[in-house]
């Protein structure tokens, strides 16, 4: 079957699809497989699809899209899974703006019902020149790799930006760190280590001065979880070192207690090494207090500085500094100060490594 794809989701980017596509009616129900589907319905919220260039295009009833099968477990979004079997004509749902498609199991009232996606077939690619026997597209094709066993691979200082939950200011803080570090002459690599496929945050890091910005999607992962997060994080961090990053700003998507594998990455410090600095973004003083308890008792990693909405004015800053004994710097109002604080940590890390 031949179809014209109206919109190609960013989650498929590793495969380099064409809009004039061939489909196969046989569908492998596995995370990472690329399928085509027809959008049903109209929405006024959460109604766009991020394309491979990062542009957010409005979706309309009848649009044919190419997306990727995958799960999602978002506190402030949709939750869903990949069914055990999928056939042409089945109705699945669009679980995120990056084009992740699955069976919705829970929705957020602020977003309304997700778009229904009528399955049309798996998208075929033709990797062998002159061979018209297509193979089902999978985002592990052309995924980045790294030689993690190579002891000569540079290990730049890594700044972790974590948060108490979604929408706690992590990307904003990460971008301002990238900006301030690059202004100081650092060659900055940015990355998002956990979450569900979406290019937006990595593109913002590049807008703020990162020379490279990678996500787990670049490594062939649709959605991170406890099993795959540590391995893909190691791949991305190692790859940025190979590319030549002098310092890495690594955002840990979702919260430290979520289901995207953040906790597993934090527990894997014996393999990764302790981060050069940890920036914790919190929405309120209670979140900041809880984050300190968890980082102290569960992971043994100290918080270097608290950012996010909890530091938006002097009330939260006083609580964090006087009650918790932590440094508090707001990325929006004191970006240069936050950058200088973290840059000093990076310098100290290089001196320690050189000894």
Q: Answer whether residue 150 is part of any domain.
A: no
Contact 248, 174 (CB under 8 A): no
Where a domain ends, among 136, 168, 192?
Answer: 136
Does residue 183 share a domain with residue 291?
yes
Residue 152 has pLDDT above 70, yes or no: no
Does some domain include residue 342? yes
Contact between 68 and 101 (Cβ < 8 Å): yes
CATH (domain of 225): 3.40.50.300
280-293: average pLDDT: 96
How confident is the model over 13-22, as a mean pLDDT?
A: 95
Q: What domain count does the chain have?
A: 2
185 with 39, same domain: the answer is no
Mean residue pLDDT of the chain comes to 93
- Among the candidates 103, 136, 169, a domain finishes at 136
Claim to verify: residue 115 and residue 253 sit in the same structural domain: no
pLDDT of residue 43: 94
**Same domain, yes or no: 64 and 199:** no
Q: Which residues contact 153 (CB under 8 A, 6 or more apart)?
A: 146, 147, 238, 241, 242
Last residue of a domain, one of 104, 136, 168: 136
Same domain, 207 and 346: yes
Taking only the tens place, the pLDDT of each residue in 33-87 is 999 999 999 999 999 999 999 999 999 999 999 999 999 998 888 999 999 999 9
pLDDT band at 180 (very low <50, low <70, confident <90, very high): very high
Domain identity same for 94 and 166: no
Mean pLDDT in residue range 266-283: 85
pLDDT at 348: 83
Question: Nearest 5°: phi and psi at 82?
Answer: -90, 120
> What mean pLDDT is predicted for residues 152-165?
88
| The pLDDT value given to residue 74 | 85
Residue 313, strand partner residues: none
Q: Are residues 184 and 89 in the same domain?
A: no
Is the pLDDT confidence value at 150 over 60? no
Is residue 3 pLDDT above 60, yes or no? Answer: yes
**Does residue 147 form part of some domain?**
no
pLDDT for 127 equals 80
Other Cβ atoms within 10 Å of 151 Cβ, number: 6
Residue at 245 is within a domain: yes
Does 178 lie in the same domain as 98? no
In a domain, residue 148? The reply is: no
Q: What is the pLDDT of residue 110?
A: 87
The pLDDT value given to residue 131: 66
- 216 and 288 together in one domain: yes
Whole-model pTM: value is 0.93
Q: What's the pLDDT tens digit per position in 217-266? A: 999 999 999 999 999 999 999 999 999 999 999 999 889 998 999 999 99
Instruction: Examine the domain organization and report whether 129 and 182 are in the same domain.
Output: no
Look at residue 271 in the predicted model and tell me its pLDDT. Answer: 67
Task: Tell me, yes or no, whether 212 and 243 share the same domain.
Answer: yes
- The range of the structural domain enclosing residue 278 comes to 158-354
CB contact at 8 A, 339 and 176: yes
Instruction: Summarize pLDDT for 83-104 with one digit per residue, the tens.
Output: 999 999 999 999 999 999 999 9
The verdict on 131 and 184 lying in the same domain is: no
Dihedral Cα 89, 93, 96, 100, nearest 10 deg: -40
Question: Residue 223 domain-assigned?
Answer: yes
Flag whether 61 is in a domain.
yes
Residue 199 reports pLDDT greater than 80: yes
Q: For residue 220, which phi and psi values (nearest 5 degrees)?
A: 90, 15
In a domain, 152, yes or no: no
């Amino acid at each position: 079957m031949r179809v014209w794809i109206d919109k190609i989701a960013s989650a498929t980017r590793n495969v380099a699809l064409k809009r004039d596509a061939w489909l196969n009616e046989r569908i492998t129900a596995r995370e990472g497989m690329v399928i085509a589907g027809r959008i049903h319905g109209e929405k006024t919220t959460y109604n766009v699809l991020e394309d491979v260039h990062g542009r957010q295009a409005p979706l309309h009833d009848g649009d044919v899209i190419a997306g990727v099968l995958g799960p999602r477990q978002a506190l402030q979004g949709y939750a869903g899974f990949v069914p055990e079997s999928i056939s042409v004509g089945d109705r699945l749902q669009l679980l995120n703006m990056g084009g992740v498609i699955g069976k919705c199991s829970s929705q957020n009232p602020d977003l309304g019902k997700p778009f229904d996606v009528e399955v049309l077939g798996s998208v075929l690619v033709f990797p062998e020149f002159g061979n018209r026997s297509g193979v089902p597209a999978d985002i592990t094709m052309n995924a980045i790799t790294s030689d993690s066993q190579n002891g000569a691979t540079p290990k730049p200082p890594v700044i972790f930006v974590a948060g108490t939950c979604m929408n706690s200011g992590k990307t904003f803080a990460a971008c301002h760190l990238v900006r301030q570090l690059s202004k100081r002459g650092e060659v900055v690599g940015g990355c998002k280590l956990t979450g569900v496929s979406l290019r937006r945050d990595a593109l913002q890091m590049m807008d703020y001065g990162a020379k490279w910005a990678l996500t787990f999607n670049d490594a062939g992962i649709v959605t991170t979880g406890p099993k795959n997060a540590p391995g893909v994080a190691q791949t991305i961090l190692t790859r940025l070192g190979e590319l030549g990053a002098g310092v890495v700003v690594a955002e840990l998507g979702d919260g430290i207690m979520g289901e995207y594998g953040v906790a597993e990455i934090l527990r894997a410090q014996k393999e990764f090494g302790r981060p050069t600095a940890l920036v914790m973004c919190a929405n309120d003083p209670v979140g900041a207090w809880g984050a300190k308890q968890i980082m102290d008792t569960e992971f043994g990693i100290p918080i270097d500085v608290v950012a996010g909405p909890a530091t938006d004015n002097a009330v939260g800053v006083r609580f964090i500094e006087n009650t918790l004994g932590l440094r508090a710097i707001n990325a929006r109002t004191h970006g240069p100060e936050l950058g200088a604080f973290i840059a000093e940590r990076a310098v100290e890390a290089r001196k320690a490594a050189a000894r």
